[in-house]
Amino acid sequence: MLLVFDVGNTNMVVGIYEGKNLIKNWRINTDIHKTSDEYGILINSLLAYDNIDMKSIDDVIISSVVPNVMHALENFCIKYCEKKPMIVGPGIKTGLNIKYDNPKQVGADRIVNAVAGIEKYGTPLIIVDFGTATTFCAISDKAEYLGGTICPGLKISSEALFNGAAKLPRVELTKPGKTICKTTVEAMQAGIIYGYVGQVEKIISMMKKELGSEDVKVIGTGGLSTLIHSETDSIDCIDRFLTLEGLRLIHKKNK
């Protein structure tokens, strides 16, 4: 079995693959203060709940955008899984031709998404990952990673409004169903969500023009992807486990 970690700024998604099949997955808080032992107890509890023995793990691969959590995670893998984890970063084979001015600046999650996206959906391709930040990645018809756009995520935008305006409350990210709202909470929800939909549609539209084609598959992933997808036709489909699949593919390329 392969244990995979997609470590984001807010959450990390943990998955177990048996061959090509993702048999279990969990979403937990990313906590830079947790020790390797605390992660060991937590992961072991999740595995045990689904009747999976830690000793059945053959290998581990990690993609992370949070450097401060890596020491604890690596030590967890060595101590509890008895495996040195494979880390997505310099020196790892991805098969991806990165056209960024400095390829080392491309986040591990964006690389992993691109590898899985090309494998599953072909090219050209746009991948939108709705996380703490929302990233838009463009892949050419030659399977080249061209670059993209990074925006504040929905939750960051919502928190900024709450923290920056004294009389505005913190609101739940749900759709009010209208834009002419008669309460402050609904007015904020409309502005945050529908305004964000407009941002997504504009960036995708510009990317398609820069790619020189309207025939571009657009894939959404990440925790809040379903919320935005339900309000726009710009995203063709949602693939919640795109990053985990990319980790499996990269692990395969390097074994």
Which residues are tagged catalytic? 109
Enter the tokens of residue 82.
């008895």
Q: Which residues pair with 6 in a beta bridge?
A: 13, 63
Q: DSSP code of 80?
A: I
Least Cα distance to 131 among 179, 183, 177, 63 occurs for: 63
How far is Cα 23 from Cα 7, in angstroms, rounded to an integer? 19
86-87/21-29 β-pairing: unpaired
Residue 60 near residue 78, CB atoms below 8 Å: no
Buried b (16+ CB within 10 A) or exposed e, 103-135: eeebbbbbbbbbbbbbeebebbbbbbbbbbbbb
